[in-house]
Amino acid sequence: MPRSAKRRSSHPRQTKAKRAAAEPANDGERSALRPQWSGTLSFGLVSIPVDLHPATHPAHVALRMLAPDGTPLARRFHCPTDDVYVPSEHLVRGYEYEPGEYVVITDEELEALEPDKSRDIDLRLFVPAASIDPLYFERSYVLTPSGDSSKAYQLLAAVMERGSRAGIATFVMRDREYLVAIFARAGLLTAEALRFQDELRDPAAVGVPSKTRVPSALAAKLEQLLERHAHDRFDPHALVDDYTDALRELALRKAKKQIDVIELDTSEQDEQVETVDLMRLLKQSLHSSGSGRRSARH
């Protein structure tokens, strides 16, 4: 095997580089976040340059699958009929239109379906903010003013917030057209990428019981119970992922004590080969994710 690994049961020493990797960076050391998308928020004759940033970031702990000797494992595509692994250059995409029946979709056909490139968030209409069911919210973004657009940005946010209105818009990012709802909160514009109607389950399909008459005495008792646990406002700091925190602390504690730590001895040539493989898998993953993309419907 081109790599070897050493597994330590315990060792008090820990290099400076390993300590730095195990400890989270200070907020002051982090560089400014680059926008995920930049363009213009526009409606009518109004155009406001904005930057779009993800409002959330993944905080879960990812565990990598390893071989017994500590080598990180990679996924491969296996053909169960011929019992062989299929290289990425031989892969094609298929749409299953009937059980067991597929039609091949080519890269050129997928590219032809991509929306026209645009740098506009095209506001189509404004609706009462409270009229949009949160079930449609899929992913949250923050819009910030770009360049010298702060005054126009603040004016739009103030007018929208004063009227409790949300804007419905479309924009193209990474060859996909998104349908979004633009909200104004405390002078800040946010965007919620919306799910499509056919992505929501019918409550009847998940077994929601039909309405029945509830005795008034039981309803009053339940209202009293709810009132005893009522708070004036929602506290987001109460949302703590105890499992993820405990898992991260366990891993860092074992790393600090050098318990079950695996070190790979990798030559420069092996590193170059691994980089090429990772790039191939990344491109393959991006192409695969594109096969499920759909354009927004107007």
User: Comparing 258 with 280, which gets the higher pLDDT?
Assistant: 258
Residue 296: the pLDDT is: 44
105-109, 222-226, 285-289: the lowest-pLDDT one: 285-289
21-30, 250-259, 271-280, 289-298: the lowest-pLDDT one: 21-30
The per-residue pLDDT for range 50-81, each reduced to its tens digit, is 999 999 988 888 889 998 888 899 889 999 98
- Does 25 fall in a domain? no
Query: Which percentage of the chain shows pLDDT scores above 90?
Result: 45
The per-residue pLDDT for range 230-246, each reduced to its tens digit, is 888 888 888 888 888 88
In this structure, what are the phi and psi dihedrals at residue 244, rounded to the nearest 5 degrees? Answer: -65, -40
Residue 267: the pLDDT is: 55
Q: How many helices (H) and strands (E) would you count in the chain?
A: 6, 13
SS3 69: coil
Query: Which percentage of the chain shows pLDDT scores above 70?
Result: 78
- Does 167 fall in a domain? yes
- Does 296 fall in a domain? no
- Does 268 fall in a domain? yes
Average pLDDT of the residues in 244-254: 89
**Measured distance CA(290)–CA(294) in Å, rounded:** 9
- Does 29 fall in a domain? no
Encoded amino acid at 107, one letter: D
- Residues belonging to the chain: 298
Q: What is the mean pLDDT of the chain?
A: 81
DSSP 74: -
- Does 297 fall in a domain? no
pLDDT at 21 over 50: no
- Does 270 fall in a domain? yes
**Measured distance CA(126)–CA(39) in Å, rounded:** 20
Domain hosting 66: range is 4-18+36-290
Cβ count within 10 A of residue 101: 9
- If phi > 0 it is left, if psi is from -120 to 50 it is alpha, else beta; for residue 136 that is alpha
The per-residue pLDDT for range 116-144, each reduced to its tens digit, is 888 999 999 999 999 999 999 999 999 99
Q: Which residues does 189 contact at the CB level (< 8 Å), separation at least 6? A: 41, 50, 142, 143, 153, 156, 157, 160, 182, 183
Q: The pTM is what?
A: 0.67
CATH (domain of 91): 2.40.290.10
By CB atoms closer than 10 A (0-12, 13-18, 19+), residue 189 is: buried
The per-residue pLDDT for range 148-173, each reduced to its tens digit, is 889 999 999 999 999 999 999 999 99
Strand partners, 84: 79
By CB atoms closer than 10 A (0-12, 13-18, 19+), residue 121 is: buried
- Does 143 fall in a domain? yes
Calculate the CA dihedral of residues 207, 211, 212, 217 and round it to 10 degrees: 110
- Alpha-carbon torsion (269, 275, 280, 285), positive or negative: positive
Number of separate domains in the chain: 1
Angstrom distances, CA of residue 169 to CA of 188, 270, 292: 17, 48, 22
Residue 39: the pLDDT is: 94
Strand partners, 79: 84
Residue 207: the pLDDT is: 82
